[in-house]
């Protein structure tokens, strides 16, 4: 068996994010860099609005670090839209070497990991990772247009309207270090309910956590914060259960980006947030800044993705999932 | 301006491929590892057939090198299907750490480059890159079902039914070395005819070639073979013209995977082949084996991708494109 952990010596130089109205009204609203009051970001289609969010988030991250497009060696970007069109259109004009990636909601973790590999090994001085999702473009692509008003299942998650961008340098450059990564394996335990992605994703996330703990010798207690993105309430509860069966007890230090971003009681988002923009915006707006302030010293993050397509579900397939793990330290 | 070239010290350990009936009947038919006479690969949907091709191609590559799943540190995979479902379902069960990538027809180049970065820097001993496309799954997703019998434009390309898999190790391990990579920039020159992807892609490919020649100091004459995948007849002709304007004359040593795979006169494929499976199958079945035999010593390859989606075209957007460059040597 080959090793799973990739040792990294990278760090976050800066981050940027942009979210929609509902996300701004949620518990983390005050932390986001910018939001739009009608989720349109000045555009006439939801798809263009999603691309525009990526552009805004990436430019925000560059501006904070006083960097220009020419400073970035390569960009890793992806989203939920068919053919990842949110990213290719959103980042047009940057003229930065571009790696398109796809990991559903895990895309942010995949991008940060690959960008960190590049800067750890001095392939480029600086790289960027950018992802997004938009509730309205996702709803009409995966389910039905918003206007249809379909009833949502109790276990369903609410696709976040948001984008997060990360500028990544070598281990000396920024305060929050990226110490290790572990790419996830695609696992399918037979869940075929697209309204319960948390259940489909939990086993893949469990696999990544278990492989990391086994190989590193660490335990959940070695971290101030264990974070998944995005299992939501349903998936996080399942993950706690199956981790305990594997011998790892998650305590109060465990939570999920999909739980953090919305208020369960007042925002009617059922099992919580999801989408490539969920963990990206929560990490960039809340978790990494709190690490800089000293609230969390060591954070273990697994970005989780459900890798089905609307067609594969219609064809009766179950839902494969993947979880990309990263460990952060100040 | 940051540098664009990534120096690599990797090599191909083995390759595998599987193609459909039309590809088997083409000029390269005898070179492919395996083909299916009805393009179904024993499955009841075109999407499952595409996934099955990936599984067959990857297993073929492993078998030739006498390797098992456990020997592969990570796999980079992608395809044209919405949410890259061909890859996530096709490689299910391998239990190999999985990076999903998306670069349209350039996905094979992107995967080989990222896998080579991993083995060059000893992050993993062996990595794999796998891509696929299927004419029937692509036609109904991008255009109309085959049964509809829509008239094709003279400049349109024929999506290849095929998959190619590459096992990549460090520079010492295999005969054909991967010496350098240059990730492409997303460029959109305003072409909005989805039936002329060659015209949309040629400027992005030109950008990658020019950046590589300028930074390396090399010229087209330094290579035995300059290969693009997949511009087709129309795009290759445009590329020759715009490269000449930039001061680089492509001679007889230039061709394109989309030109090589079908017979223009007898196979009615108009501008030639395309799709994530085109350059992957042509490289793995024909170009790399011919390098091993000594016919080509130095090959410069640019994998080209048109990054639109059916929705973005309907919404009146033009077509962004990207070209990922790799140089191979024996």
B2 at A interface, C-beta within 8 A:
yes
B139 at A interface, C-beta within 8 A:
no
B324 and B202 in a common domain: yes
Say if residue B146's pLDDT is above 90: no
Residue B171, pLDDT score: 96
- Determine the residue of chain B that is closest to A113 in CA distance: B99
Within 8 A of B83 by CB-CB distance, chain A residues are 80, 82, 102, 104, 307-310, 312
Query: ω into residue A303 within 30 of 0, thus cis?
Result: no
Question: What's the average model confidence in pLDDT over A94-111?
Answer: 97
B325 and B285 in a common domain: yes
Confidence of residue B150 (pLDDT cuts 50, 70, 90): confident
Q: Which residues pair with B187 in a beta bridge?
A: B321
A279 and A248 in a common domain: yes
Say if residue A106's pLDDT is above 80: yes
A72 at B interface, C-beta within 8 A:
yes
Scanning B91-180, the segments in alpha helix (DSSP H) are 107-120, 135-142
Within 8 A of A183 by CB-CB distance, chain B residues are 74, 97-99
Say if residue A2's pLDDT is above 70: no
Report the C-alpha gap between B26 and B161 in whole angstroms.
Answer: 12
Within 8 A of A9 by CB-CB distance, chain B residues are none
> Cβ atoms within 10 A of the Cβ of B149, count?
8
Q: Do A96 and B322 touch (CB under 8 A)?
A: no
| CA R_g for chain B | 18
Within 8 A of A101 by CB-CB distance, chain B residues are 99-102
Inter-chain contacts counted by CB atoms under 8 A, chains A and B: 171
Confidence of residue A71 (pLDDT cuts 50, 70, 90): very high
B139 and B263 in a common domain: no
Within 8 A of A124 by CB-CB distance, chain B residues are 2-3
Nearest to A101 among B102, B184, B307 (CB): B102
Residue B1 lies in a domain: no
Which domain, by its residues, includes A56? 10-170
Within 8 A of B46 by CB-CB distance, chain A residues are none
Say if residue B16's pLDDT is above 70: yes
Query: Three-class SS of residue A18?
Result: strand
A161 and A223 in a common domain: no
Residue B2 lies in a domain: no
Q: What ranges make up the beta strands (E) of B84-222?
A: 98-100, 127-133, 158-159, 162-170, 177-182
A144 and A244 in a common domain: no
Question: What's the average model confidence in pLDDT over B258-275?
Answer: 96
Final residue in a domain of this structure, among B170, B203, B234: B170
Please tell me the total count of domains within chain B: 2
A183 and A152 in a common domain: no
Average pLDDT, chain B: 96
Residue B201, pLDDT score: 97
> Cβ atoms within 10 A of the Cβ of B255, count?
18
pLDDT in tens, A189-245: 999 999 999 999 999 999 999 999 999 999 999 999 999 999 999 999 999 999 999
Closest CA of chain A from B21, distance in Å: 24
pLDDT in tens, B183-210: 999 999 999 999 999 999 999 999 999 9
Question: What's the average model confidence in pLDDT over B16-29?
Answer: 98
Report the C-alpha gap between B295 and A123 in whole angstroms.
Answer: 32
B215 and B121 in a common domain: no
Report the C-alpha gap between B34 and A44 in whole angstroms.
Answer: 48
Q: DSSP character for A131?
A: E
CA distances from A38 to A44, A139, A287 (A): 12, 16, 26
Q: Do A320 and B89 touch (CB under 8 A)?
A: yes
- Determine the residue of chain B that is closest to A81 in CA distance: B83
- Determine the residue of chain B that is closest to A47 in CA distance: B312
Scanning chain A, the segments in alpha helix (DSSP H) are 21-24, 46-64, 85-90, 107-120, 135-142, 197-216, 232-245, 257-260, 276-282, 288-292, 310-314
Question: What's the average model confidence in pLDDT over B161-168?
Answer: 98
Residue A271 lies in a domain: yes
Q: Which of A23, A251, A51 has the alpha carbon at shortest distance from A159?
A: A23
Report the C-alpha gap between A131 and A107 in whole angstroms.
Answer: 7
For B12, the token pair is 């191909």
List all residues of chain A from 260 to 319 with a beta carbon under 8 Å from chain B.
305, 307-312, 315, 317
Nearest to A98 among B80, B84, B186 (CB): B186
Closest CA of chain B from A186, distance in Å: 6
pLDDT in tens, A115-143: 999 999 999 999 999 999 999 999 999 99
Residue A309, pLDDT score: 95
Half-sphere exposure for B314 (CA within 13 Å, toward CB): 7
Q: Do A2 and B70 touch (CB under 8 A)?
A: yes
Average pLDDT, chain A: 96
pLDDT in tens, A7-17: 999 999 999 99
Q: Do A97 and B184 touch (CB under 8 A)?
A: yes
Q: Which residues pair with B79 in a beta bridge?
A: B132
Question: What's the average model confidence in pLDDT over B66-70?
Answer: 97
Say if residue A63's pLDDT is above 60: yes
Task: Write the CATH number for A315.
Answer: 3.40.47.40
Residue A2 lies in a domain: no
Helix H or strand E encompassing B202: helix B197-216
Helix H or strand E encompassing B88: helix B85-90
Contacts of A280 (CB under 8 A, 6+ apart): A17, A107, A108, A130, A131, A132, A162, A163, A164, A165, A166
A102 at B interface, C-beta within 8 A:
yes
| CA R_g for chain A | 18
Residue A4 lies in a domain: no
pLDDT in tens, B114-145: 999 999 999 999 999 999 999 999 999 999 88
Final residue in a domain of this structure, among B170, B191, B207: B170
A184 at B interface, C-beta within 8 A:
yes
Q: Do A4 and B97 touch (CB under 8 A)?
A: yes
Residue A5 lies in a domain: no
A75 and A32 in a common domain: yes
B186 at A interface, C-beta within 8 A:
yes
B103 at A interface, C-beta within 8 A:
yes
For B238, the token pair is 């445009």
B198 and B269 in a common domain: yes
Q: Which of A52, A63, A65 has the alpha carbon at shortest distance from A20?
A: A52
A307 and A191 in a common domain: yes
Question: What's the average model confidence in pLDDT over B253-259?
Answer: 98
Final residue in a domain of this structure, among A122, A151, A170: A170
Residue B251 lies in a domain: yes
Residue B2, pLDDT score: 61
Return the residue in A78, A97, A136, A143 with the most chain B beta carbons within 10 A, the one to mutate for interface testing: A97
For B146, the token pair is 């085959």
Return the residue in B1, B43, B49, B85 with the most chain A beta carbons within 10 A, the one to mutate for interface testing: B85
- A94-131 b/e (C-beta count within 10 Å ≥ 16 → b): bebbbbbbbbbbbbbbbbbbbbbbbbbbebbbbbbbbb
Nearest to B96 among A185, A309, A310 (CB): A185
Report the C-alpha gap between A210 and B279 in whole angstroms.
Answer: 38
A47 at B interface, C-beta within 8 A:
yes
Closest CA of chain B from A205, distance in Å: 12
Q: Do A125 and B2 touch (CB under 8 A)?
A: yes
Q: Which residues pair with B273 in a beta bridge?
A: B158
The maximal CA–CA distance of chain A, rounded, in angstroms, is 52
**One-character DSSP codes across B16-76:** EEEE-HHHHTSTTGGGSSEE-SSS-TT-SSHHHHHHHHHHHHHHHHHHHTT--GGG-SEEE
Query: Three-class SS of residue A155?
Result: coil
Report the C-alpha gap between A40 and A21 in whole angstroms.
Answer: 10
Report the C-alpha gap between A328 and A290 in whole angstroms.
Answer: 12
Q: Do B2 and A73 touch (CB under 8 A)?
A: yes
Q: Are B318 and B291 in contact (CB under 8 A)?
A: no
Residue B149, pLDDT score: 86
Query: Which position has the token pair 């990054």?
Result: B307
Q: Are A87 and A54 in contact (CB under 8 A)?
A: yes
Confidence of residue A150 (pLDDT cuts 50, 70, 90): confident
Q: Do A98 and B308 touch (CB under 8 A)?
A: no
For B113, the token pair is 């480059």
Residue B5 lies in a domain: no
Compute the residue count for chain A.
Answer: 330
B165 and B19 in a common domain: yes
Q: Do B73 and A3 touch (CB under 8 A)?
A: yes
Residue A149, pLDDT score: 87
């Amino acid at each position: 068996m080959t090793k799973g952990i990739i040792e990294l010596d990278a760090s976050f130089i800066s981050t940027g994010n942009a979210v929609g109205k509902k996300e701004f009204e949620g518990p983390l609203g005050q932390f986001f860099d910018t939001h739009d009051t009608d989720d349109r970001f000045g555009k006439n289609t939801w798809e263009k609005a999603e691309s525009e969010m990526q552009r805004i988030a990436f430019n925000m991250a560059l501006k904070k670090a006083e960097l220009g497009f020419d400073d970035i060696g390569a960009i890793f970007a992806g989203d939920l839209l068919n053919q990842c069109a949110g990213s290719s259109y959103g980042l047009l004009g940057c003229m930065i070497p571009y790696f398109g990636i796809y990991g559903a909601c895990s895309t942010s973790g995949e991008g940060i990991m690959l960008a960190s590999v590049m800067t750890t090994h001095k392939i480029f001085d600086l790289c960027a990772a950018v992802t997004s999702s938009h509730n309205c473009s996702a709803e009409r692509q995966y389910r039905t247009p918003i206007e249809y008003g379909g009833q949502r299942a109790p276990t369903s998650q609410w696709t976040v309207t948001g984008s997060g961008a990360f500028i990544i340098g070598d281990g000396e450059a920024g305060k929050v270090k990226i110490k290790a990564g572990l790419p996830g394996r695609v696992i399918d335990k037979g869940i075929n309910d697209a309204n319960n992605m948390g259940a489909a994703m939990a086993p893949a996330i469990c696999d990544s956590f278990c492989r990391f703990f086994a190989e590193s010798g660490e335990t959940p207690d070695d971290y101030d914060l264990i974070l998944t993105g995005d299992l939501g309430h349903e998936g996080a509860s399942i993950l706690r259960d199956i981790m305990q069966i594997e011998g790892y007890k998650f305590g109060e230090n465990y939570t999920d980006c999909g739980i953090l971003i919305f208020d369960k009681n007042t925002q009617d988002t059922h099992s919580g947030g999801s989408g490539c923009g969920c963990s990206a915006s929560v990490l960039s707006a809340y978790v990494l800044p709190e690490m800089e302030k000293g609230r969390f010293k060591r954070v273990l993050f697994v970005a989780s993705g459900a890798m089905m397509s609307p067609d594969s579900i219609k064809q009766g397939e179950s839902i494969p999932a993947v979880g990309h793990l990263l460990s952060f330290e100040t």
